[in-house]
Amino acid sequence: MTEAMLTTLETFYDAVPRDRARVERIGPFDLFVRTGSDGHPFYARPALGATGVTADDVAAVRARQRELGIPQAFEWVDETTPGLIGPAEAAGLAVQRAPLMVLPTGVVPEPTEPTAGVTVRLLDPDSPDFAADLAATHAVGNLAFAAHGTAVGGAGPAERDAVTAPVSAAQLAVEAELIRSGRHVRAVAVGPDGVVAIGMAQRVGAVAEIAGVGTLPSARRRGLALALTNRLVRESLSAGTGLVFLAADSDDVARIYGRIGFRRTATACIAEPADA
């Protein structure tokens, strides 16, 4: 990955949470603290241009996160902030190294269809089903990301329904505005038993990240993640996005995205307490 592309991605990462978070500068880190009570908490990232981060710097951010009662989460790109893995681990964090993959310029994937009986559609904030769709999205995400990997598991529609909770009016309004403005595109795979897989693209300017792609464990190995990602990529490109990228959960997941055309170019680091 070129220095220019790394800079573009770092600028994107810095911009994504700023309209829904306040930023606290703690040493060489920016801690993004979500405003309001709705939505997934954010994280800390090295401030743009930060270098020479130490374990004490990481510990100071962790202390502030504990004080605020938010997850002790950190994210960065190894090639942009080299040398941070060691201090992060020394400060008690476990660091996941995720393949950072970019879709080469000019690559437009052919449409991919999921298993028969399943359709992929976009969330529409003007649809009467928008609130139910968004609630199902959160429930599927909770189950999918609690069981990492690609193996088929037991959690399915019944477990999804058991953890589905109404989405607040405030969060519905925020998400509707993000979709209408083109900042977010959300897609779901829907089968006879409802939503079974989810994904989104978040966009800033001409850059889009595919994120939050997850499948109910019982519905895995049916091509749903591939079809969802394909649809999100094509939607992003048709909207004029010049750079589409993602961070894969593992090498196995990266191989799935490679079938669309994504190529590994760097390493995304995601860290949380080792004793969590």
pLDDT per residue as tens, the chain (276 positions): 789 999 999 999 999 999 889 999 999 999 999 987 667 789 999 999 999 999 999 999 999 999 999 999 999 999 999 999 999 999 999 999 999 999 999 999 988 878 888 999 999 999 999 999 999 999 999 999 998 888 899 999 999 999 999 999 999 999 999 999 999 999 999 999 999 999 999 999 999 999 999 999 999 999 999 999 999 999 999 999 999 999 999 998 999 999 999 999 999 999 999 987
pLDDT for the residue numbered 232: 97
* Residues 197/219, Cβ–Cβ less than 8 Å: yes
pLDDT for the residue numbered 111: 85
Cβ neighbours of residue 270 closer than 8 Å, sequence gap 6 or more: 73, 74, 75, 95, 96, 98, 247
Cβ neighbours of residue 86 closer than 8 Å, sequence gap 6 or more: none
Residue 224: count of CB within 10 angstroms of its CB = 25
Residue 68 sits at the vertex; the CA angle it makes with 64 and 72, to the nearest 5 degrees, is 60
Rounded to 5 degrees, φ, ψ at 65 are -65, -40
Q: What is the pTM of this model?
A: 0.93
pLDDT for the residue numbered 62: 98
pLDDT for the residue numbered 25: 97
